Chain A
Amino acid sequence: MAEFLFEIGLEEIPARMIAGAQAELQRRVVTLLERERLVSAGVASKSFATPRRLAVWVADVAERQEDVAEELVGPSIKVAYKDGVPTAAAQAFAQKAGVAVGALKTVTTSKGEYLAAATTKQGRETAEVIVAELPKELAGIYWAKNMYWRAGRPERFVRPVRWMVALLGAKTVPVNFGGYEAGAVTYGHRVLFGDEAIVLKSPGEYEQALEQGFVVADVEVRRQRIRKAMDAVTRTVAEVRWREDEELVETVTQLTEWPSVVMGGFEAEYLTLPEEVLVTVMRDHQKYFAVEDKAGKLAPHFLAVLNTAADEAGLAVIRHGNERVLRARFNDARFFWEFDQRVPLVDRVELLKNVTFQKELGSYAAKTSRVRKLASGLAGLVLERKCELNPVALDEAASLAKTDLTSELVKEFTELQGIVGGLYARAQGYGVATAEAIYDQYKPVSMEDSVPRTVEGAVLAIADKADTIAGMFGLGKEPTGSKDPFALRRAANGIVKILAETAVALPLTLAEIAAAACGQNETLAGKVRGFLAERLEFYLREARGHAYDVVKAVLAVGAEDVRDAVARAEAVTAVRGSDDFAAVSAAFKRMRNILAQAAEKGIAPAARVEAVLLTEATEKALAERSSELAADVLALRGERNHKAALESIATLRPQVDAFFDAVMVMAPDVEVRANRLALLGRVLGDFSGIAEFSEIVTAG
């Protein structure tokens, strides 16, 4: 047994691809060794990654494969023997198997009796296996974007390979890939260690040896070092903290081999620029962390994560350089901000004719007029239902919503679209409702993002998204499989999330939104409505975590009112575990089956339940109790108290159980039978408004 180490050195790998490739290399190497019977299942392994290397270490690898006993099957017995004497076919098989004819045996297969030979498959040397197999695994690694890099070679890889290490114990394994042969030599930090070779004597010393070469190979160790260094550096200023940003921590971890942190400052005058602008410049353009005071307000400092270690004088130089860059960036932003004010938003509406939304759907001016109309239609519905909404502010916001696309600030910082428009609207004297609606129009940008803060913002955001979906569907550009180039699923998820999560319930149904967005085209509206309903299902399962059958049951009785569907799903999930509810669900399923079977046989239920035809005590009891409960349930549902309604329905269990124990629904008497069917139909009808219980999967 020996430890195995493989490292591939590359020119800087894109930070976003490192974590995936690291995990994939580890998986591929371990799986390869398992497949080749060189390690036992669950063998210990560890992976490493920096911008310039991916590596994997595996414990307890066999030095060679064990020989394996094999049974070779040859010709059939009929062919192999003639009058009990081995034929030429038998001789040839024995020779091929490497055994004497007398050592051959007979096996019985599904096709008859065959000649067989017990042989041994010789195990190969581990190094030989790795040399043969590992290059295929390397070539198979997935990269989001890769390159040709060697003349005359069709292979592609993420970046040029610069070296490889493959060590099995103390021995090198000469794996060939990308024009390099693996050895025992690795390299340290580009600048801090230079290009001096680091010769590894064994796999176990990898991490330690690289540490000497100013490389922290373990990603988690690097991440923690960065966090600690940021904490330490931030403490040099009183009462501030760096603003947590996990994604950015991940990025800088993948950009460094030997991280350190420097804190810089900027002139307080820049703090008059909106925080969103400052943070975007720092975060997205410079990969700097923002610093805030106790109240969460930005402080005039930033943290830069370096890929080097410098002494005080060196740090001063680096800090100065980073501050210089940031000041220039902030100056740019301020310049754009001021420059943009020369043309007020209202004058930019005209300029939108020059900004393409989508080739076939025209300019943003065209989109703006569609969204205005759509928003106004939706606002009408909202107002009709006695929900508060400021239609003037909404229309103002809809007409100005896209104008920031013509601003220099958004051209420079595209991730700030909408936000900039909102800030400009505020600065140019528009009301809070208008400004906030513009600001929030792209919300939610993901399942994790929050929804617009106001009703106006919510309606604008829905109208904008619905217009895009309807437009693209109208062009036949629906998402298919994993392809969704126009992010229509994200837009539809956004609509569902807004309907489900706004502070005030927004009385709009999916069908209304689809119809409003599609105009007279009913086929299109149907498709869009179906698409939205599909996203509601996704939302209930993925964002809310409801079980598949609960979602199905809830949506079977209505997918229109999103908030109601969410509430119903929550109620069903809450009560589905109770015995009574399970029993009632099962009984409902039974009722549905009985009704379906009757319908198949052409037996119709009576138009209504006649008390006089209820002959048995148990059916009378069911009829009476269910009537009383139906009123309660209706009242509870009116209060949107679905859970209480379901609990109330579950109390029907004794009557339901007793009914099925004592009563034969398909009675010989035609009238009694029709009456009983009517009773079942009524019970189902009265209690299935929250969910289609027959969809609920019950144990047993």
Chain B
Amino acid sequence: MQATGEKKAARTFPALTFQELLFTLQRFWADQGCVLQQPYDVEVGAGTMSPDTFLRVLGPKPVRIAYAQPSRRPADGRYGENPNRLFRHTQLQVILKPPPVRIQELYLESLTAIGIDLREHDIKFEEDNWEWPVGGAWGVGWQVMLDGLEITQFTYFQQCGGMDLDPICGEITYGLERIAGFLQDVDSIYDIVWAVEPDTGRKVTYGEMRLAEEEQFSAYSFDYADVAKLWEHLNLYESECLSLLDQAKGFEKMDQLELKRFPVLGAYELALKCSHVFNLLDARGAISVTERVGVMARIRTLVVGVARIYAAQGQQLSGTVKE
């Protein structure tokens, strides 16, 4: 007997390319009223850390937004040698605040939209709660398992920046590489077909687009990154962020225009940069035990501090953001 079993039964629906997968999901959520945002152009470790999630979930204002966010986790780099693991992968992040009653059904419809016939597959919602202590953020939810593959993280966001959310928020995070690999039935991420040239039929693979990046950035974060310089970066970004947090204490004295223009979003970028530099230092093995807890506390001060001034700014501008 051949241990691996039969090849997948012939499909009636042609497998989507990586980019078609993205288009289809974006189209689907746009049709549900989501604004399609572009990826955030600062390094983040997860789609959740983009201000389009981390900050927009705060306050009472309803939000429906979706974006494909590259997520960088230097320590997950494998020099391109591991067929299943990347230093940079892409998440499709969907934020629905408040979550519609049919959110689970909508999600399942989105799977149908990308060609998954649910009656042909085994789908389970297994408990998997999410937490980002540095951001004072957590939620409860599930990992969605499709034929044993975790394809989505589905979270009801409960707290952010240490503040209770009201209303809460539904967050759907699709792992695009995994789903594409599943749809195309390939064993390595690098074999995923990203796009097909319609005139020549030439297939452009994920590896062609991204392998060099995986190799070089793994080498950078594990072997080349200059530890002393990274510490300097961390200190500089931190001090600038702290200075903004400090100036935000003067919110009451500001007029409306000054308040509206106060760069809370700039402060958040600086906090994100610190977080990324921390991850690089960590991958480089440059953070000692005694330093580790302390540095995490420093970054938490920045991230939670920004969430608080974001809420305060919104509240002062509209008088409605709940602390």
Contact = CB atoms under 8 A, between A and B. Distances in A.
Interface string A276-319: 00000000001010000000000011001011101001101111
A325 B148 contact: yes
A222 to B, nearest CB: 14
Interface string A1-37: 0000000000110111000000000000000000000
Given A145-B129, A318-B147, A319-B5, A308 B122 contact: yes
Interface string B34-73: 0000000000000000000000000000000000000000
B127 A266 contact: no
B148 A320 contact: no
Given A147-B158, A321-B146, A331 B84 contact: yes
Interface in B269-284: none
Given A308-B121, A320-B8, A148 B166 contact: yes
B6 A320 contact: yes
A307 B78 CA distance: 35
A304 B145 CA distance: 12
Interface string A315-337: 01111111111111001100100
A150 B156 CA distance: 11
B229 interface: no
B223 interface: no
Given A12-B142, A317-B120, A356-B292, A325 B156 contact: no
A358 to B, nearest CB: 10
A525 B319 CA distance: 59
B273 to A, nearest CB: 23
Given A11-B125, A307-B123, A321 B182 contact: yes
Interface in B71-121: 78, 81-85, 98, 101, 104-105, 108, 118-121
A152 B166 contact: yes
Interface in B168-218: 168, 182, 185, 187
B119 A12 contact: no
A354 B287 contact: yes
Contacts of A314: 119-121
Given A195-B105, A307-B123, A317-B9, A332 B85 contact: yes
Interface range on chain B (Cβ under 8 Å from partner):
35 or more
A354 B285 contact: yes
Nearest to A326: B148
Contact of B285 (A151, A191, A351): A351
Given A15-B127, A363-B289, A320 B5 contact: yes
A319 B5 CA distance: 8
Interface string B155-166: 010100000111
B149 interface: yes
Contact of B3 (A192, A268, A363): A268
Contacts of A264: 5
Given A145-B140, A148-B164, A265 B1 contact: yes
A307 B122 contact: yes
Nearest to B146: A321
A145 B139 CA distance: 10
A191 to B, nearest CB: 5
B293 interface: yes
A592 interface: no
A300 B185 CA distance: 21
Interface string A344-356: 0000000101111
A246 interface: no
A51 B84 CA distance: 30
A320 B129 contact: no
Nearest to A406: B285
A316 B9 contact: yes
Contacts of A310: 119-120, 122
Nearest to A304: B148
B247 interface: no
A359 interface: yes
B185 A11 contact: no
A485 to B, nearest CB: 16
A266 B187 contact: no
A692 B219 CA distance: 70
Contacts of A321: 8, 121-122, 146-149, 182
A178 B182 CA distance: 38
A335 B81 CA distance: 9
Given A351-B285, A354-B288, A359-B293, A147 B81 contact: no
B7 interface: yes
Interface residues of A, number: 64
Contacts of A151: 98, 166-168
B232 interface: no
Contact of B122 (A12, A149, A306): A306
A64 B84 CA distance: 63
Contacts of A255: 124, 126
A368 B139 CA distance: 36
Given A11-B104, A267-B4, A325 B124 contact: no
Contacts of B8: 316-317, 320-321
Given A12-B142, A265-B4, A362-B289, A325 B149 contact: yes
B289 A191 contact: no
A313 B9 contact: yes
Interface in A132-173: 145-152, 159-160, 162
Contacts of A195: 105
Contacts of A306: 122
Contact of B4 (A266, A286, A332, A362): A266
A145 B140 CA distance: 8
A237 B2 CA distance: 12
B301 to A, nearest CB: 17
Contacts of B125: 11-12, 51
Contact of A331 (B83, B108, B140, B146): B83
A355 B282 CA distance: 11
A636 to B, nearest CB: 55
Nearest to B139: A147
Interface in A189-211: 190-192, 195
B165 to A, nearest CB: 8
A149 B104 CA distance: 14
Nearest to B98: A151
B4 A147 contact: no
A241 B287 CA distance: 48
Nearest to A322: B148
A372 B148 CA distance: 43
B291 to A, nearest CB: 9
Contact of A324 (B105, B187, B287): B187
Contacts of A11: 104, 125
Contacts of B7: 320
Contacts of B139: 147
A16 B128 CA distance: 12
A301 B83 CA distance: 23
B87 to A, nearest CB: 14
Nearest to A14: B127
Among B108, B122, B285, chain A packs the most CB atoms within 10 A around the CB of: B122
B5 A265 contact: yes
Nearest to A16: B127
A237 B5 CA distance: 13
A192 B168 contact: no
B3 A300 contact: yes
B5 A147 contact: no
Nearest to A252: B124
Contacts of A356: 289, 292-293
B121 A318 contact: yes
Interface string B1-36: 111111111000000000000000000000000000
9 contacts: A151-B98, A191-B123, A255-B126, A288-B148, A310-B120, A316-B6, A321-B182, A326-B148, A354-B287
Given A12-B127, A190-B123, A356-B292, 15 more contacts: A149-B168, A151-B166, A151-B167, A152-B166, A304-B148, A307-B122, A317-B9, A320-B147, A321-B149, A331-B187, A335-B81, A353-B288, A353-B289, A354-B289, A356-B293
A-B interface, 5 closest residue pairs, ranked by CB to CB distance from nearest: A321-B147, A14-B127, A151-B167, A265-B3, A12-B125
